[in-house]
A and B are shown apart, each in its own frame.
Chain A
Amino acid sequence: MQMLAISEHGDCGGVKMEAPLLEVKNLKKYFSINKGLLGRKKKFVKAVDDVSFTIKKGETLGLVGESGCGKSTTGRMLMRLLDPTEGQIYFEGKEISNLNDNQIRSLRKDFQMVFQDPYASLNPRMKVREIVSEPMVIHGIPKEERMERVEKLLTVVGLSAYHADRYPHEFSGGQRQRIGIARALAVNPKLIIADEPVSALDVSIQSQILNLLKDLQEEFELTYLFIAHDLSVVEHISDRVGVMYLGKIVELADKQSLYQNPKHPYTKALLSAVPIPNPRLKRERIILKGDIPSPSNPPSGCTFHTRCPLATEECRNKIPQVKEINPGHYVSCHLF
């Protein structure tokens, strides 16, 4: 709460861009796994464990990590599709994590989501016109305006107005994702949470969708939280990147410093796995040993110590704190 007071104060000080659009503090989501009828010993899956970050207006924050590291859960909590176990979410300085379902409903106008699977995220029984206009119906935009806007939105995302009377099954994956994006744009949101929007698409289509998202960001001053597991996709679209491992953000920095100068051993290992389109270029691969541990029983201390090539005794016992090693470059590791 103190930190929020400071950031609000900073806003009053005149530097308007400094106030973050979205601020997340110590966000946690534990899923309980009940064993036995009378709730003997409750175990938890720590899907998201103490995550904090901010997103400034107009920027794109990329969130990367292996599957199961909690990046989608984080996105869902921001959308309030899941209730956080602990922690606060502030949107334009206002806390939204404690609002009830009715209060959050009108706020959802400012938040929209683009989903991973364009085949599953569109209702197969609805025409494109109905799909794209649905958020406008929900938020009470009159009918004539809706009809006009649907056709405009379809052209904006690279489809044509006459596509409005077709069903989703008549489109390809990339086109469907464009419909999903048009739907997300329908109510002029401020923040778009894109949950792996391109990972279900062909590589050639991925780039088209990424470029579309970039163009739309410029045109409509959008802010993105971009969730992905593909590092090169995230590099292309993001301004800042957060790397997640087992429900925690291990490193968060702007794109240049993260990709050129990674600090956390996990980030280094991830980056070394990105293929380089040059067969003659040799480089050192960091191969992590073992599998990702179960989030229901995470390792003690630093959760990465079981696979970290540089782990020490300290890593096994003490949970590392997030440190700002350079301005805007946060790392959670005992080495720094």
Chain B
Amino acid sequence: MANVELREEVSTQTTIKLDKLSNKTPFSEFWRKFKKQRLALAAGVFVILLIVLALFGPAVAPYSSEEFDYEHVLEGPSLTHWAGTDAYGRDIFSRIIEGTRISLFVGLLSVLLGAAGGTVLGLISGYYGKWLDSIIMRICDVLFAFPGILLAIGIIAILGPGLGNVVIAIAIFSVPIFARIVRSNTLALKSTVYVEATRSMGAKDRRMIWKHIFPGTASSIIVYFTMRIGSAILTAASLSFLGLGAQPPTPEWGAMLSSGRDYLNTAPHVTFFPGIAIFLTVLAFNLLGDGLRDALDPKIKD
């Protein structure tokens, strides 16, 4: 009862002082945390380089990927051909640069489709719960039971080989991963007081899902999105290596590995350089994903 005597003025004074303290936007906060992670920053720079190469690759590449040169077949790295030439005398370095576009495009598009589908399913599953949740999650469990590559091979077997079908196959097996992550985030956010407060105002489900729950799941979607691109590129390369994706004349990294297989003893550079390209790209996306996770997670302080 004694405290009731205190007057309002006290609070308005402290109010003004507190205001001067911070004018941080969520983005500047994110950047401050992200730039401290040197490795992730380097990976980010590499990913940007890859994107530039994917956009302007053919213009930058020293040779055309279709340029046959039977005088210089299976030559090792030299000053004229930085990564050597393949069995038809094509410049491997140029082919890798042109392959960037295919690999990135396949990785990005397939994960984008998978993430979109998985996010919608996860939101529905987590928000509405009950039988809808059970059905969606059991289907995801079934998809999870297959190893990713096996599932992709199965889907390709049904749809037929080709890069477009590789995209669909990878998208399908990315769906349950995103569905699960988004669902668990949705469950946590659904029980927060601010979502309940919105419900108490009379908001419709649509508003609560898209205005309050979805933005809360965005940071983990971004993290997994980045990490999945790495494994999607790897899967696409594997499928092409097996002859299920891009077909030989296409400068796809996996297909290049496959065509260099026969010369592994005599000309290892034919498989080595595309392999390195795949390795570095996947590593960069994974490191970037790790860095994003640390920067976006509000629980990790500096």
Q: Which residues of A contact B (CB under 8 A)?
A: 79, 81, 104-109, 111-113, 115-117, 120-123, 125, 134-135, 138-139, 158-160, 163, 166-167, 170-172, 174-175, 180, 183, 187, 203-208, 210-212, 232, 235-236, 277
Interface of B is mostly: helix
- The answer on a CB contact under 8 Å between B200 and A81 is yes
Q: In the bound complex, how far is the Cα of B18 from the Cα of A111, in angstroms? A: 32
Contact of B22 among A116, A170, A210, A211 (CB under 8 A): A170
Task: Please tell me the size bucket of the interface on B.
Answer: 20 to 34
Given A81-B199, A121-B197, are A277 and B2 also a contact pair (CB < 8 Å)? yes
Contact of B14 among A115, A121, A172, A207 (CB under 8 A): A172
Contact of B8 among A163, A211, A277 (CB under 8 A): A211
- The answer on a CB contact under 8 Å between B5 and A163 is no
Hey, which chain A residues are within 8 Å of B21, CB to CB? 170
Q: In the bound complex, how far is the Cα of B191 from the Cα of A120, in angstroms? A: 11
Q: In the bound complex, how far is the Cα of B116 from the Cα of A4, in angstroms? A: 53
Q: In the bound complex, how far is the Cα of B203 from the Cα of A260, in angstroms? A: 43
Which residue in chain B gives the minimum CB-CB distance to A105?
B202
B66: shortest Cβ distance to chain A, in Å? 50
Q: Which residues of B contact A (CB under 8 A)?
A: 1-8, 10-12, 14-15, 18-19, 21-22, 26, 192-194, 196-204, 207, 212, 215-216
Q: In the bound complex, how far is the Cα of B193 from the Cα of A117, in angstroms? A: 8
Q: In the bound complex, how far is the Cα of B36 from the Cα of A209, in angstroms? A: 42
Number of A-B contacts (CB under 8 A): 98
Given A115-B197, A232-B1, are A123 and B8 also a contact pair (CB < 8 Å)? no
Hey, which chain A residues are within 8 Å of B216, CB to CB? 125
A121: shortest Cβ distance to chain B, in Å? 4
- The answer on a CB contact under 8 Å between A205 and B204 is no
Known: A105-B204, A123-B212, A183-B197. 7 other contacts (CB 8 A): A125-B26, A125-B215, A158-B8, A159-B15, A170-B22, A211-B7, A236-B4
Q: Can you list 15 A-B contacts (CB < 8 A)?
A: A81-B196, A115-B197, A122-B197, A125-B216, A135-B201, A139-B201, A159-B15, A167-B26, A170-B22, A172-B18, A175-B18, A187-B201, A208-B11, A236-B1, A277-B1
